[in-house]
Amino acid sequence: MLDKAALATLFTEARTHNVWLNKPVSDELCQQIYDLAKWGATSANCSPARIVFVKSAAEKEKLVACLSPGNQEKTKAAPVTAIIAMDMEFYEKLPQLFPHADARSWFVGNQPNIDATAFRNGTLQGGYLMLAARALGLDCGPMSGFDADKVNAAFFAGSSLKVNFICNFGYGDAAQLFPRSPRLTFEEACRIV
Amino acid sequence: MLDKAALATLFTEARTHNVWLNKPVSDELCQQIYDLAKWGATSANCSPARIVFVKSAAEKEKLVACLSPGNQEKTKAAPVTAIIAMDMEFYEKLPQLFPHADARSWFVGNQPNIDATAFRNGTLQGGYLMLAARALGLDCGPMSGFDADKVNAAFFAGSSLKVNFICNFGYGDAAQLFPRSPRLTFEEACRIV
């Protein structure tokens, strides 16, 4: 059971950030984020997420050109922007990741199952990545406002990877936060039967 | 920054459980899980996840009948099984959840955007839910082996809700765990550019 400060870091006080302090995020920290998030559960350990951590000015420029106008300035300013992609041929790694069954055969030739499994599990891994980043003291700014075809052409041409969503990581300027938006109550979103 | 014990609880030592101790999960604890997870980021705060916590024997039986054979016994034994669903009319709540823009109009009549947004963000919320449960000392056992049409007919007939995935919550029997499956290394899954 985590203490109240840890719950605040992950959930109760954590906010989506749009304004970034001028404080770098090291390559080692990017690796630490992944090395926590990779342990999160995926269906048959299929682990379809692939991540490009965009840091250099040239690659950042390439990415920013694919984003909705409202997402461009903040992404330029973020020390690192992660492209959270999915390998649509993730099942080719199943002999390595799930060696005790022929899990590859559950997918080959079944495109609806491939698509749903890549999207669901790749997204779960994106969620794990954001909470891992927060656990390591970083702030997150996830975005789905971008031209997916442009991102795929710019970063994943000729590969089996497709973008899922994009997330800025860094140290947010808490003074620039808007008031927090409301959430659905337990009664609105849940029931116990 | 979380300490090593908290990181172990959430990530490095956390395991998917299939065998459950005979220890109940209170309704209050179900609510606490949601009340942490609800703070996680979703696109335009759209919050499409809806959760049914199945606890009673009669409802559990209804659910178990929809599951793949390999998921039935463990689900019967789990103190609570969450059906993580998506409200495919989530955008009707946007005037409440995202009051500073007409976000509802971004979705109405755009079914591909509705479908992708519900699936991506509902899945992120499912990931938040699992990590919130772990943060509160519970173990998780997520499953996608079930007949979605049957679950939707049994639990969501006549509503705008559709099942996404299913997850057992409780206190797992660590003595019954299999050896942990490998994960992709940073070099296999990520690059920094």
Q: How do residues A90-108 score in pLDDT, each as one tens digit? A: 999 999 999 999 999 999 9
Chain B residues closer than 8 Å to A49 by CB: 189
Give the count of domains, chain A: 1
Span A134-151, average pLDDT: 98
| Residue with token string 């056992």 | B141
What is the predicted pLDDT for the residue at A182?
A: 97
Other residues' Cβ atoms within 10 Å of the Cβ of residue B42? 24
In a domain, residue B179? The reply is no
What is the predicted pLDDT for the residue at B157?
A: 98
Is the CB of residue A128 less than 8 Å from the CB of residue A33?
no
What is the predicted pLDDT for the residue at B6?
A: 98
In a domain, residue A181? The reply is no
Q: Do B183 and A12 touch (CB under 8 A)?
A: no
ipTM over 0.95: yes
Q: What is the CATH classification number for the domain harbouring A70?
A: 3.40.109.10
In a domain, residue A33? The reply is yes
Q: Where does chain B have alpha helices with state H?
A: 4-7, 27-37, 57-64, 69-77, 94-97, 111-135, 148-155, 186-189
> Of residues A178 and A55, which shows the higher confidence score?
A55
What residue numbers bound the domain in which B79 lies?
Answer: 17-173
Q: Which of A6, A165, A192 sits opposite B2 (nearest CB)?
A: A6
Chain A residues closer than 8 Å to B49 by CB: 189
Q: Do A190 and B51 touch (CB under 8 A)?
A: yes
In a domain, residue B77? The reply is yes
Choosing among A13, A166, A193, which should be mutated to test the B contact, i.e. which has the most B CBs within 10 A? A193
In a domain, residue A78? The reply is yes
Per-residue pLDDT of chain B in tens (193 residues, 90 and over written 9): 999 999 999 999 999 999 999 999 999 999 999 999 999 999 999 999 999 999 999 999 999 999 999 999 999 999 999 999 999 999 999 999 999 999 999 999 999 999 999 999 999 999 999 999 999 999 999 999 999 999 999 999 999 999 999 999 999 999 999 899 999 999 999 999 9
